[in-house]
Structure formats: structure tokens, C-alpha cells
Amino acid sequence: MMYPHLFSPLTVGALTLRNRVVMAPMTRSRATDDDLVTDLHVEYYRQRANAGLIVTEGVHPSADGKGYNRTPGIYNEEQVAAWRAVTHAVHDEGGLIACQLMHCGRVGHANNKAAGTEFLAPSAIAAQAQIFTESGMQAMPTPRAMTLADIKAVMNDYARATQLCLDAGFDAIELHCASGYLPAQFLASGSNLRTDQYGGNLENRLRFVAELLTVMADIAGPDRIGLRISPGNPYNDHADENPLETYSALLKIADNLGLAWVHAIRMASTGIDSLALSKKNYGGTVIGSDSFDAPEADTFIGEGRTDAVSFGRAYISNPDLVARMQADAPLNPMDKKTIYAGTGTAGYTDYPTLEQND
């Protein structure tokens, strides 16, 4: 068999993956103004159900949690019904799908959010970065420092969103704790200057994420909860004085909770081997991410450096990625101009399969 390790089954918590190819979470900016997925999303995810597991684009658990334009939410029943059509389509193809919950916190711009929503963060420190809006790139605003009541309310938002994910038919839920979003903002010394129990020393900076994961695991079961991390990644002005120490401790929390997986983005530029770090501190399934091809993925799995591999850009332009890898066939090139192109099918659901190429 071509790439026998990559195409072997894998038990991940409560899930049994038919292969170790994971579709990575990717924002594609196709949701409606009401943060709804549409028939376009149904087809997009259905086409890619050949993955052992799909992890959706980031989905905000509240209106406040939105940061980017045209991203979907899961905080009301209409959104649940829309997502249910997606999960049914994936299941009908024999696939599994997890919802990635992503609260952006201080990351975003008012042009991307509903009127009356807030920017919430551990501390009132603006991210020194820009974000895309319909009016072009814009500086990010200064958020409001969260009170203890705000923290409790956001915990409740995540708890409700976790239950709504189950109601919508998702097989699991992944907490986005990377890329400078709200959970990572609590972890990082550069964005968390609190002096209460949620800030200051490492134990306190870990508290928000630890409590959040516990709440989510209590609802869905720890064997259906995953954690996305990217130690040392400076994206969205994410800065921590000691990411190796911070994420080693976070991974031990994930291990103690018995989470189903850790989804680790590798970035050589950080000087941190996130896969080795995950393997050292966490005993469950590790999903490696970023710039893998099939041969390297198979090698890493065979050597025990990761248990599965997620593919992002390759899945954008190759809906039948698994079949192409199994046949060692060439991949469709990706059109960068249509990654975030809006509501149409172009660059979203119109990439041809191998059969269509023939």
C-alpha cells in the first residue's frame, strides 16, 4: 500500500478514523451576515469527507467572539440547523467532523462584527496588527478588560456552544487555543497583565483555558474534545516570555483531563518543536499540522513523531485529496485569489476530482 501509516485507521478518543488524514481548520469567509453556513458549505465539506476527520473552520461561540468577516457562528438554533445539514452530509459520506470553537477576543474590527458587540480580552491591550475588512486592512481596537463576571459569561458561552455542537451532529469539538485568540491571550504574558486569579504567574494564566476545557469536557466528554496549539507563533501579536514553559504546562493539563487529541502547528521559525513538545507532555493522539506532504506525513507517523497529520492548502484545491494521495497522483494547484472570495463556488466547491480531470 502507498503510505501505509497515513492510511491506517486510528482511534482518537471516542472516534475511529478510517485514515490519519485530517482536514485542517481553514477560514474561508463564506458565511451569511447572520453567521450562517449555507448549501455551499454543505457541498464543500461533503466533498472532503474522505478525510479521517474534518475540523471545521473557526466557529465563534458568541457574537462577541467573532473577529473576521463572513465567518460562521454556533450560538443560536438557526445556526445549529444550518450546521446540521453539514454534519449530515459528511456522515452520509462515511466521514467524521469536529467543530472548532474560536473566540477571537481582542482580534478583529468593528466592521466585521454585529452592532452592539464587544471586544473582550484579559487586559485592555490592543493587538499590534491589522485585520482584513470590507473596507480594507484596519488596525485592531483596544479591547475591554474582562471582569470576573465576563469570564464566567464567556465560559457559559463556550458551554452552550459545546452543547449546540452536539445538537448539530458534530462528532467532536476542538478548542482553538492558538493564533493569538482569546484562550491564547489568557496564556500569554504579553496580553495578560491581570493581577487576579486569571493573571500574573503561569498557574493563573493557565486557569482560564484549564477551566474552559473542563467545562467543555464535562458536557461532551473529554474523549470528544481536542485542543489546537501553536507554541511560539507570534500571529496576531501573540507574545509570551516563555512559551516552552507555558505550553508544556498546558499540555500536561490536556493529558490530565484525558482530551482526545492535541492539534499542534509546527513552525520551525519559533525554535520550538511543537510535535516533540506535545509527545513529551501529553499521552493522547497528536495531530501534526503545517506544510506536510504525503511522504513526510507517512514518515512522521511511522516514526511515532505524530499520530495523524492535518492538511490545509492541499484540501482547498483537492476535494478528493485522499484518493489523489493513495494513487500518488498530482494535486490541483490552489488559486490564492479565491481563498476568501465571498459567496460563490469559485475556488470553493468547483475544484475537479481525479475523475473529472480525466
Catalytic residue, candidates 3, 181, 198, 282: 181
Q: Is 181 a catalytic residue?
A: yes
First to last CA, the chain: 23
d(CA 263, CA 278): 9
The helix (run of H) or strand (run of E) holding residue 147 is none
Provide the 8-state DSSP code for 322: H
Q: Is residue 54 helix, strand or coil?
A: strand
C-alpha closest to that of 26 among 358, 317, 322: 317
Q: Are 106 and 179 in contact (CB under 8 A)?
A: no
User: 262: buried, middle or exposed (CB in 10 Å: 19+, 13-18, 0-12)?
Assistant: buried
CA angle, residues 330, 49, 8, in degrees to nearest 5: 75
d(CA 252, CA 103): 23
Provide the 8-state DSSP code for 5: T
Tell me phi and psi for residue 174, to 5 degrees.
-115, 130
CA distances in angstroms from 1 to 5, 11, 21, listed in the order given: 9, 20, 15
Q: What residues are annotated to the active site?
A: 181
